């Protein structure tokens, strides 16, 4: 029973045992163990139970014999070994159960441990992290840009706009030698406001975007009325 030490091994992240090793451990001819396993598989398949999958117990496989010929074998999961052990009695059954249970536990623990990354995998992981970081930065920049475009001028900037409008109207009256009475002012102010709204496509000067504030101030300073 102690001929084989490494009874359990890893295949694609699954802990399994080779039917040849099991046959040798329990002192049974491999062809006879294959016959038994095929019987178990037929029963599992014939059960028509959706919760039962024969591949969760026994996985069909092959190996090359001494003459290079391909021969059938099975890879047994822990469930498969349990099924084989349940059919055994006496000392062989006890020793086999102890051997495969211990080795399956050892292999499953090993598979659950984080595997050290190779140099190439580490570089790929760093690249992936960098790309994800850059993508997040692009998303943040995009949101900030949209926020900046959508943000309207604040109360202080609104006050600046109002003062610039008042100063511009006063300058226009001076440059054009207009009569600075209330009637004339009432004509000029609406015209400036209307032209400002049209130029920046807003319903009110208060809705001018913050990024357009400097342009709006410059526009007001250069505005001339249609007289």
Q: Residue 195 burial by CB count (10 A; 0-12/13-18/19+): exposed, middle or buried?
A: middle
In this predicted structure, the answer to whether residue 4 has a pLDDT above a threshold of 50 is no
Q: What is the reported pLDDT for 2? A: 47
**What does the mean pLDDT of the chain come to?**
86
The share of the chain scoring above pLDDT 90, in percent, equals: 43
Whole-prediction pTM value?
A: 0.47
Predicted confidence (pLDDT) per residue in 180-209, tens digit: 666 566 788 899 999 999 999 999 999 999
Predicted confidence (pLDDT) per residue in 81-106, tens digit: 999 988 887 787 788 888 888 888 88
- Spell out the domain ranges in the chain: 8-112, 150-222
Please give the order of strands across the beta sheet that includes 70-76.
8-11, 14-18, 70-76, 58-64
In this predicted structure, the answer to whether residue 39 has a pLDDT above a threshold of 90 is yes
Q: What is the reported pLDDT for 163? A: 95
The share of the chain scoring above pLDDT 70, in percent, equals: 93
Lowest mean per-residue pLDDT among 28-32, 50-54, 59-63, 128-132: 50-54
Q: What is the reported pLDDT for 106? A: 84
Best-predicted range by mean pLDDT among 25-39, 40-54, 83-97?
25-39
């Amino acid at each position: 029973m102690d001929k084989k030490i490494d009874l359990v091994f890893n295949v694609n992240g699954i802990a399994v045992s080779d039917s040849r090793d099991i046959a040798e451990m329990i002192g049974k001819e491999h062809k006879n163990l294959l016959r038994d396993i095929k019987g178990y598989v037929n029963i599992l398949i014939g059960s028509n139970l959706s919760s039962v999958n024969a591949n969760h117990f026994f996985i069909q496989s092959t190996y090359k014999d001494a003459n290079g010929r391909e021969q059938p074998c099975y890879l047994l999961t822990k469930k498969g070994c349990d099924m084989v052990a349940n059919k055994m009695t006496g000392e062989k059954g006890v020793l086999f159960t102890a051997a495969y249970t211990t080795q399956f536990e050892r292999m499953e623990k090993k598979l659950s441990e984080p595997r050290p990354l190779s140099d190439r995998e580490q570089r790929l992981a760093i690249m992936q992290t960098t790309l994800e970081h850059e993508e997040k930065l692009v998303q943040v920049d995009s949101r900030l840009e949209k926020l900046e475009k959508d943000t309207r001028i604040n109360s202080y900037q609104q006050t600046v706009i109002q003062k610039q409008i008042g100063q511009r109207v006063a300058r226009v009256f001076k440059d054009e030698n207009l009569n600075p009475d209330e009637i004339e002012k009432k004509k000029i102010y609406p015209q400036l406001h209307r032209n400002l709204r049209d130029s920046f496509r807003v319903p009110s000067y208060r809705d001018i975007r913050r990024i357009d504030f400097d342009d709006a101030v410059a526009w007001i300073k250069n505005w001339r009325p249609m007289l």
